[in-house]
Structure formats: C-alpha cells, structure tokens
Structure 1
Amino acid sequence: MMGWGWNNGMMGWGYGSALVGGIIQMLFLLVVIILVFLLIKRGNHLFGSENYSRSEEILKERFAKGEITEEEYKKMKDVLKK
C-alpha cells in the first residue's frame, strides 16, 4: 500500500493548497498593480507641479511687463490650474 495516508501525493492538502496559493498570488499581483499605479500618479503630480509653477512664473512676468491684461492673466491662470 504505497501512499497510504497521502492524498494524491499532496500530504493531506489536496486541492485546497492550490486554491489558497492562487488566492495569495492574486492578492500579491493586486498589491503590485496598486503600488505601480500610486508611483505613476505621484510621479505625474511631481512633474506637473514643477511645470505649473514655471508656467505661472512666465505668466506673472508677462502681466508685469504689460504684455497681457488682468483679465487675460486670470483666464490663463485658471487654464493652468486644470
């Protein structure tokens, strides 16, 4: 009687270990996807704010030089915030 007490060679775990292993792999993959998403979002935010601040500086300079009116300045500033 070879294998007596063994469940298909799986030492009593049977198909349950495959199910648990699959769930753990899915959770790990989900965590990795969330981390990548957060890193990309954070990176876009950092680069976007730098571009916004430089653009706002240029806009202020143009307004100070009299190249644009106050109304144009306000409209352009609103566009930059979007």
Structure 2
Amino acid sequence: MMFWYDHGIGGWGLFAMSVSMILFWALVIGVVFLLVRGLNRPQENGRTRSAPEEILDVRLARGEINEEEYRRRLNALRTGPG
C-alpha cells in the first residue's frame, strides 16, 4: 500500500513554502539591485560640487568667462555673501 498523504505536507505547509520562496527571491533581487545601484554611483572626492559651481565650469569651458573671472566667482560662491 502506498502512503500518498501520510508523509506529505498539508495545504498550510505548501503555502508557507511558497511565501518563503517568494520572500527569498525578493531579498536576493533587492540585494543585487542595491549593489548595482551603489557600484554605479559616481565617486565623490570629499567635496561635492554645487550647481552654481558646475555652471561656472561650463561657462569657463565654453570661453564665456576667463580664468580670472572664474576664480573670482568661485571664491565668492564658496565664501558666501559679504
């Protein structure tokens, strides 16, 4: 005689295994996503550049302002008003 139902898992066991498998794969995918996002983040060299500093960089590169004007404005941005 075969024991088809005596040693098997019930409905709740199957449900628990299904939910745990979904949670496991969600965790694995989440960790991979966070690793990829973290590794693709641009490296910061101690100080992040603000938007006005980036605008000054672009204007200098285009030739709209000279290096003396660039340094004067950059210094004014970093020291603040006054």
For normalisation by structure 1, the TM-score amounts to 0.47
Relative contact order (C-alpha < 8 Å, sep 6+): which is higher? Answer: 2
